[in-house]
Copies of this chain bind each other. A is one copy, B any other.
Amino acid sequence: MIAAIFSVNWAIYRMNTLEKIQTNLSNFSKSERKVAEVILTSPQTAIHASIATLAKMADVSEPTVNRFCRRLDTKGFPDFKLHLAQSLANGTPYVSRHVDEDDGPDSYTNKIFESSMAALDAARQSIDPMAINRAVDILTQAQQISFFGLGASSSVAHDAQNKFFRFNVPVVCFDDVLMMRMSCINATAGSVLVLFSHTGRTKALVEVARLARESNAQVISITAKDSPLARESTLAVTVEVPEDTDMFIPMASRLAHLTVIDVLATGFTLRRGPRFRDNLKRVKEAIRESRFEKPANL
């Protein structure tokens, strides 16, 4: 049995022309189906061909090709090619994005990269920029920022620490529940905690959020919408990621959370103004001597 071991439901966010052809295959007439099959087998050829060449390839007449295009809600053949070209540009030559048992390295590499990109696209659309803005507000006013994450999210927290450390802000990062709890007890009104959790259902982390709020600290969570963690936070930046349901390891959510960190960091530097960014330059220069010089001609 060949099982799809991880899948991303692409249909959720984009009804690509190529897919449209695939799904409507049964609704087409006999001749139109011939056209559809020629296009599906070599879409790259199709977009560069004239209506005459395509008709000959499908062994139908030119008007049939034209009617086929119109049936797909396009103005005509040139317009159809435009739509098709856009589908292809998105790097989805496959209709299905499942990784299968018998996929080769080339195939699964592409599929995973494409799934990741798709997940980021979905995440982007689900994020509320106003939440980002409020989060930046809170972060800029923080006296100390703590980043917390457990399991797969611990690396996300580490990354956030690394980033904000360069901003010359007091930062800490914990991936250990006991340390988190201790840290919460000592938190003050000027403390800001940023908690990362894909599900927002990790009991220990929700408890940490509650503890922190009892110490009057601000709690920002980067997590799922309507989750217990989101409810327990001062501000929830909710991210919807189409996580691969069959795979047993979270993949796409980390990427989305890391990108949210980048967005927050960007908002942070913008808020602080140009003078502040000189700091970053100095930090970067400080690491330079630990590196091998890059050849000048590159």
* Chain A contact residues, CB within 8 Å of chain B: 3, 5-6, 47-48, 78-79, 81-82, 85-91, 99, 101, 103-106, 108-110, 112-114, 116-117, 120-121, 123-124, 127, 129-130, 132-133, 136, 151-152, 154-156, 158-159, 162-163, 166, 199, 201-204, 206, 228, 247-249, 251, 254-255, 258-259, 262-263, 265-267, 269-270, 274, 277, 280-281, 283-284, 287, 290-294
Contacts and interface: CB of A to CB of B under 8 A. Distances in A.
Contacts of A5: 269-270, 274, 277
B113 A120 contact: yes
Given A108-B266, A152-B162, 17 more contacts: A5-B274, A82-B82, A85-B85, A89-B90, A105-B267, A113-B259, A152-B159, A154-B158, A155-B155, A199-B291, A199-B294, A201-B294, A202-B291, A202-B292, A203-B290, A247-B280, A249-B280
Contact of A258 (B3, B99, B255, B290): B255
Given A89-B90, A266-B99, A274-B101, A112 B82 contact: no
B158 A155 contact: yes
Nearest to A199: B291
A220 to B, nearest CB: 14
A255 B116 CA distance: 9
Contacts of A163: 152, 249
Contacts of A124: 91, 109-110, 113-114
Contact of A259 (B91, B112, B281): B112
B262 A112 contact: yes
Count of this chain's copies in the oligomeric assembly:
2
Contacts of A154: 158, 162
B48 A79 contact: yes
Contacts of A155: 155-156, 158-159, 162
Pick the 10 closest A-B CB pairs, nearest first.
A86-B89, A248-B280, A89-B89, A113-B124, A155-B159, A106-B129, A105-B133, A155-B158, A105-B129, A201-B292
A163 to B, nearest CB: 6
B116 A262 contact: yes
Contacts of A113: 120-121, 123-124, 259, 263
A249 B166 contact: yes
B201 A48 contact: no
A83 B20 CA distance: 22
A262 B244 CA distance: 12
A188 to B, nearest CB: 27
Contacts of A82: 47-48, 81-82, 85
10 contacts: A5-B274, A78-B78, A108-B267, A109-B132, A112-B263, A116-B262, A117-B120, A152-B163, A154-B158, A258-B258
A293 B206 CA distance: 13
Nearest to A156: B155
